[in-house]
Structure 1
Amino acid sequence: MNIAQVAKQFGLTAATLRYYERVGLIPPVKRKDSGIRDYDEEDIKWIEFIKCMRNAGLSIEALIEYTTLFTEGDRTVEARKNILADERQRLIEKRKEIDETIKRLDTKIKDYDGKLRENEAKLKSRPKTESLHGSVEQRR
């Protein structure tokens, strides 16, 4: 696949894919004799992995380190595993923070629901002759 096809498939720009390769987020992509990048299935898997990890909030630095270690072979398996385990733990902590924020938002939303119900009850309890501008007699 060429860069335009891959960019379209993943909703990325060609510039983003070039950046991924330039900074080491993905291993170097093979090129045709003409110099055009020729993405194969392995490249596609890397892009899927990087996009997933970035969407989850993993740092570019951690992913570059992971990719660099990957290209160094099996002697780096433990180091790669440790990077992923550390990032996983960071995501778990982030999820806890997000859960706490959601709880706070739920509480605030319930508070506003209560205030809205109170306002509706006040409006319903007004005499029919009363309006926002006061009663008919008050307006004269």
Structure 2
Amino acid sequence: MTITEVSKKFDVSQDTLRYYERIGLIPSVNRNKSGIRNYTEEDCRWVEFVKCMRSAGLPIEVLIEYVGLFQQGDETTGARKELLIEQRKQLLIKMEEMQKTVERLDYKIARYGQAAGGIVLW
């Protein structure tokens, strides 16, 4: 697939795809004889993985570390698993914080329905 096709498929800009490749978030993409990127299914799986992890808020540095460990081979399986476990823990903490924020917003919104004359007290 070309970078244009991958960009459309995953709703990621071409500049973002180039950036991800340049900083090591996705492994280097092979190029055809004309120098045009030729994304394989494996490359696309990396793009999908990175997009998913970034949308969940995982730091770029962590993902670069993960890709680097992956490229080192099977001897890094344990380290990769631990990295993912730690990121999962961090994500669960963020989810709890977001849930508290949603509850606070619900409370504030409900107060608007109860306020006389539209005045909401803090």
Give the TM-score band, short-chain normalised. Answer: over 0.9
Letter in 2 for 1:73: G
Provide runs of 4+ in structure 1 moved above 2 Å. none
Matched with 2:100 is: 100
Of residues 70-79 and 105-114 in structure 1, the stretch that sits farther from structure 2 once superposed is 105-114
Of residues 46-55 and 8-17 in structure 1, the stretch that sits farther from structure 2 once superposed is 8-17
Letter in 1 for 2:57: G
TM-score (norm. length: structure 1): 0.81
Aligned 1:1-140 pairs, distance under 5 A: 1-115=1-115, 118-119=116-117
Cα offsets for 1:58-110 (capped at 9, x unmatched) = 00000000000000000000111111111110000000101111111111111
Matches of 1:85 and 1:29 in 2, distance apart?
A: 28
Gaps of 5+ in 1: 121-140
Secondary structure of the structure 1 residue equivalent to 2:88: helix
Matches of 2:106 and 2:42 in 1, distance apart?
A: 44
CA RMSD across the alignment: 1.2
TM-score (norm. length: structure 2): 0.92
Gaps of 5+ in 2: none
Matches of 2:14 and 2:104 in 1, distance apart?
A: 40
Paired residues in the alignment total: 118
Matches of 1:67 and 1:42 in 2, distance apart?
A: 13
